[in-house]
Amino acid sequence: MTSRKVYEESFYKNLNKLTGIPVGKIKAYAKENNPFNILEHPMVVEPNERQLDKINKLNDFISTYNVLRMEEENTRIQITCPQDAGDYFNALIGNKRDRERFMVAFLDTSNKIIETKTISQGTVDSAVIYPRDVLKMALANDCKGILLAHNHPSGKMIASTPDIAITQRMLNIFKPLDIKIIDHVIVSAGKYLSFAEEQMLEDLNNGLADYKPIKIGEDVVTENDELEI
Amino acid sequence: MVTAIFLGGKQMERNIQTINSLIDILDLSKEDGEMVKDAIKKEGLLKFVNGKGQEQLTSDVCEKVSALHEILLLVQDDDSFLMGGDLGDK
């Protein structure tokens, strides 16, 4: 079955489910016409009074839905540079001194924020991240980009080995899905460190996706130390 | 994220009408209608239609919301539909 046919069948079935107009009538009209015309010109399928009322209400709802969607699109915050990302997350967690918080902003194709979520709240110097949670939220938001962020309560603007490791893991998970990790920012008291700005993202090579939980922390880990997972 | 619903004044009136229309379109019982209203208050209309906040609803109501969502998506793709585009080359 072609994708167009699938779309048509889906439209017939759903329109029937919501309005009660028989699928046969819709299909008969769609043989020679664009079935979407039914929404604009419902009389072409000779609906009864109740079906006509449903189509009119459906049309009203579609209009309102589209307006709301446009309004939401226009009110979304756009991240255009690392400074934007730093400012945004500093406003959210830059002043949190009690514990580390790991947040993720899910972005659309214009880098406008669809939704921002706190993924993990840890201790004063560490937090555990479950990549599968991030993946679930990314898919639910149908995002095209992801912005990672966490705070360093100590105020140190240094990326630790675990910070780099989680960035690497996220890159590995999302690259095959064509979802771009646009940056990972560390924030504290108005300051920020951007992996993108420091060209640290470019240095990270792609490996195999690994969905095990990750513990991040701001302790600087030496080369001989193992990542605590 | 800003949810452009329940803002007050004329917009509120419009939103109430929209929700009432939604309840009519979905043919909901009074009880289901109240649950849908609560879910929309919590999640906002857009997120609700996109599938959020439906945990308390019956499968029948969820199926109807899903049907509505599919129609909304299909209408958005109407241009591609008309032109063939990615959807086929009728």
Instruction: Compare all CA atoms of chain B with the CA of A57 and give the residue at the minimum distance.
Output: B21
In chain A, whose CA is at the least distance from the CA of B81? A4
Cβ(A117)–Cβ(A146) under 8 Å? no
CA A213 to CA A184: how far, in whole Å? 18
CA atoms within 13 A on the CB side of A117: 16
The string of pLDDT tens digits covering residues B68-78 is 999 988 887 65
Select the residue of B5, B18, B75 nearest A36 (Cβ to Cβ).
B75
ipTM: 0.75
Q: Where are the domains of chain B?
A: 9-87
Alpha carbon of B8: minimum distance to chain A alpha carbons (Å): 14
A108 and A72 Cβ atoms separated by less than 8 Å:
no
Residues with pLDDT less than 50, chain A:
220-229
Q: pLDDT tens across A116-128, in order?
A: 998 888 776 667 8
**Nearest residue on chain A to B80, alpha-carbon basis:** A4
**This prediction's pTM:** 0.57
For A191-213, give the DSSP string.
EEEETTTTTHHHHPPP-----S-
pLDDT tens digits along A66-83: 888 887 777 888 999 999
Let me know if A136 is exposed, middle or buried by CB neighbors in 10 A (0-12, 13-18, 19+).
exposed
Contact B87 A11 (CB under 8 A): no
Mean per-residue pLDDT of chain B? 75
Please state the domain extents for chain A. Answer: 3-75, 82-217
Cβ <8 Å between B74 and A36 = yes
Higher pLDDT, B65 or B13: B65
Q: Are A39 and A51 in contact (CB under 8 A)?
A: no
C-alpha A120 chain-centroid distance: 17
Query: B48 CA to chain A: closest CA distance, Å?
Result: 11
- Cα–Cα distance for residue pair A202/A195, rounded to 1 Å: 9
Domain A82-217, CATH class in plain words: alpha beta
